[in-house]
Amino acid sequence: MGALTALPAAAYDARMPKDRYGLPASTSSQSALAAYDRGVELHLSANAGDEAAFTEAIAADPNFALAHIGLARAQFMFARIAEARAGAARAVELAAAATDREKSHIETFALSIGGQLPKALEAVRGHVARWPRDAMVLAQALGVYGLIAFSGRKEHHAEQRALLDSLAPAWGEDWWFLGYWGWSHVETGEPERGGEIVDRSLALYPRFAHGVHARAHAYVEQGRAHEGFAFVDSWLPPYDPAALMHCHISWHAALFELELGKPDAAFARYMKSIRPAASRCAPMPTLADAASFLWRA
């Protein structure tokens, strides 16, 4: 170990295990790293099972700081705040022995989970300027409930688009980045181009729920309700009802049904997947989707 720590930081990082995005990860356990990468994939794609994967990574290496913060983020997304804050605190402790990138990664989450949202957004921006392919960190800034949209900025869609445009050269044809980049085009007045970018994402990773959400928005903006409904309705059946986006994608399907003159089908979908007593998704989006559906209906 002495020979390793005597190396310059860059050389030391080069000899460390790498995560799915080629970034050094402070663990000597290949099984922990594999479980962590699986958790990241499930989390970023909004599929069920990320908590179990991060928990498996921690079991394989209890000192793996990234796995602790990944689990905390997964818990936070479902409003289990006390668990998330405890996990974030543990990750911060363990990060003392990690790389600068991991320390910064964990700090961004500790700020957001701790409710310090303006500081968290500033930290995310600084982090991705140095490590543009750190997807878990970047993800915090994106989406309807992300740090940029929740900042109160009127032009938050344009701000997300500008951030993603600036990072695009570092990403290439990555399914996760393309999905959000395409969505940013859809929401800034370019639904046709945005839909094409999202199609590239879904061709690479068809079960990417955020990509499906982005594609639904493109169909809405283009006034293509028939195609939008067919797309969403065919994609939903194998999607786990406990996954993050199930309620919201069901909401999109129900709105398409209302627009197509199928109120009975829309209400049946509401009762099965959207209403608070039925949804297994996070509390706040469930409330928003249920109220929005009933208002529109």
Q: What pLDDT tens digit does each residue of the chain (297 aa) get?
A: 333 343 344 444 557 889 999 999 999 999 999 999 999 999 999 999 999 999 999 999 999 999 999 999 999 999 999 999 999 999 999 999 999 999 999 999 999 999 999 999 999 999 999 999 999 999 999 998 999 998 887 899 999 999 999 999 999 999 999 999 999 999 999 999 999 999 999 999 999 999 999 999 999 999 999 999 999 999 999 999 999 999 999 999 999 999 999 999 999 999 999 999 999 999 999 999 999 999 999
Q: Which CATH number fits domain 16-140: 1.25.40.10, 3.40.630.10, 3.30.1490.190, 3.10.450.40?
A: 1.25.40.10
CA 266/CA 281 separation, integer angstroms = 19
Decide: pTM greater than 0.85: yes
Task: Please tell me the CATH code under which domain 154-223 is placed.
Answer: 1.25.40
Domain boundaries, the chain: 16-140, 154-223, 236-297
The torsion defined by the Cα of 55, 143, 80 and 108, in degrees rounded to 10, comes to: 70
